[in-house]
Amino acid sequence: MNFPALLLTLIAAGVVAAEPAVLDTFDTVTLKAGNDKVRVESIAGHTSAAIRLNFAAECASSFAMGRVRGHPDWDHAAGISFWVKGDGSATRGAIQFVWNDDYAVRYDASFSITSMEWTKVVIPWRDLIPVAANEKSFPLDPAGERKPSQLGQIWFGKWWYWREYPAHGYAVDDLRLEPVIAVDATDLRPVGAPLSRVAAKLKAGQPITVVTMGDSLTDTRHWANRSTNWPGYFRDAAQERWKSAVTLINPAIGGTELKQNLVLIPRWTASTPTPDLVTICFGYNDWSSGMRPERFKPAMVDAIRRVRRSTQGEADVLVIATLPGIPLWNELGGLAQAACEAAKAENAGLCDGYAAFVAAAKDGGRERLFVDDQVHHSSVGQQVLANAVLESLVTK
């Protein structure tokens, strides 16, 4: 059923309200600056007045906070919308809700501020990402335990995990509940081998673009990776083996967790909307923040689906099973198994990095795979992972 037909059906059934419920017109200044990195002012709006937010450089964990809070009506809505007028910059705006006044359960989403004209932003509940890794943090569900009606105040601003915080500004107007939001529910799981498209390009010697999502084990700005790193080893080996030019896009950020990186997907899809391959490699920070296998599997399933939706199904997805560190060698095996199960459930490519490190440790000991902190990889460990990723493209 196409969207107009669906809409007509919903209207006939009495599901669609005549006008979305207004949560805040922003005709008066209802957002309060949390610190001196944020300036709030009233300006002419899309309808009547609006609020402009100006963020100074280095504005990590700086917010403009509103009075809007969840209400039972929210459980009957599909999500929220508001109008945005950006500053023309490539950075993004961000919103956050705290669920049930529990700061351990936070939901984030980002939005474009590129347009300097008023643009409507529509966010279905599914696109508010639970960014914490603890056992309390899982997706919103109007019919489940994490109900939208229990969301706390709306905040505009960015937490620490964005890494880059340039000065920027945007105006917001007319926050509403949306009773119906058309979302694409297409099953984007590939039929057949999950990495067949990128493997075919390599075999033919065609250029490929690879996005490497990850934490400090992948982040080339981390001190352990500045001279050598697994993405670089992988690129060089792939180019040597297949004579294909490999372009790397590396959005990995040290210290981050899987769900935090999902919020940032629109940042790299803005310039690289349809890469050939996206690798997903997380776990150590997730475990340290309270993530356990029973929650990591659905979180990884969600990550795979979000990458596919964000790339219109054009990218092959390769899950790299959580890698061990010496202090958590056995514990991280559970997250690795959960990642493997998620990849199988979603027919994504799989690189069992955990198994590769276990095998390499048997051959020559664990210590040679790591730098002095016993968590980040030495050149030897980086090559072990790069070779494992390379072989996953050969055999799958």
CATH number at residue 382: 3.40.50.1110
Please give the pLDDT value at position 7: 39
Written in H, E and C, the secondary structure of 128-147 is CEECCCCCCCCCCCCCCCCC
| Co-location of 173 and 208 in the same domain | no
Asked if 159 and 131 touch (Cβ cutoff 8 Å), the reply is yes
Bridge partners (DSSP) of residue 317 are 278
Give yes or no: residues 384 and 251 share one domain: yes
Kindly state whether residues 146 and 64 are assigned to the same domain. yes
In a domain, 349, yes or no: yes
Q: Tens of pLDDT along the chain (396 residues)? A: 343 434 333 433 344 444 679 999 999 999 999 999 999 999 999 989 999 999 999 999 999 999 899 999 999 999 999 999 999 999 999 999 999 999 899 999 999 999 999 999 999 999 999 999 988 898 999 999 999 999 998 999 999 999 999 999 999 999 999 999 999 999 999 999 999 999 999 999 999 999 999 999 999 999 999 999 999 999 999 999 999 999 999 999 999 999 999 999 999 999 999 999 999 999 999 999 999 999 999 999 999 999 999 999 999 999 999 999 999 999 999 999 999 999 999 999 999 999 999 999 999 899 999 999 999 999 999 999 999 999 999 965
Kindly list the distances between the CA atom of residue 312 and the CA atoms of 1, 131, 188, 269, in Å, as whole numbers in the listed order: 19, 23, 8, 10
Question: Are 169 and 215 contained in the same domain?
Answer: no
Q: What is the CA radius of gyration of the chain?
A: 22
Would 319 be classed as within a structural domain?
A: yes
What's the first-to-final CA gap in the chain, in angstroms? 35
The identity of residue 358, as a single letter, is V
Residue that is written with structure tokens 């599997």 in the block: 297
Ranges of beta strands (E only) in 61-117 are 62-65, 79-85, 92-99, 102-112
Is residue 144 one of the residues assigned to a domain? yes
- Evaluate whether residue 8 is within a structural domain: no
Q: Rounded to two decimals, what is the model's pTM?
A: 0.93
**CA triple 211-214-218, angle to 5 deg:** 85
Which residues is 33 bridged to in the sheet?
A: 64
Q: Using alpha carbons, select from 37, 85, 87, 34 the residue that is nearest to residue 57.
A: 37
The residues that bridge with 279 in the sheet, in sequence order, are 212, 318
For residue 5, being part of any structural domain is answered with: no
Estimate the crossing angle of helix 379-395 against helix 196-203, to 10 degrees.
100
288 and 141 together in one domain: no
- CATH at 153: 2.60.120.430
Residues 121 and 205 reside in one and the same domain = no
pLDDT at 20: 76
| Same domain as 385, residue 337 | yes
Helices (H), the chain: 3-12, 196-203, 230-242, 258-263, 265-269, 284-288, 293-310, 331-345, 353-364, 379-395
60 in a structural domain: yes
**How many separate domains does the chain show?**
2
What pLDDT does residue 238 have?
98
Q: Please report the pLDDT score of residue 76 as a whole number.
A: 96
Domain that holds residue 317: 196-395
Question: From CA 191, how far away is CA 323, in angstroms rounded?
Answer: 28
* Rounded-to-5 percentages of helix, strand, coil across the chain: 35, 25, 40
Does residue 11 form part of some domain? no
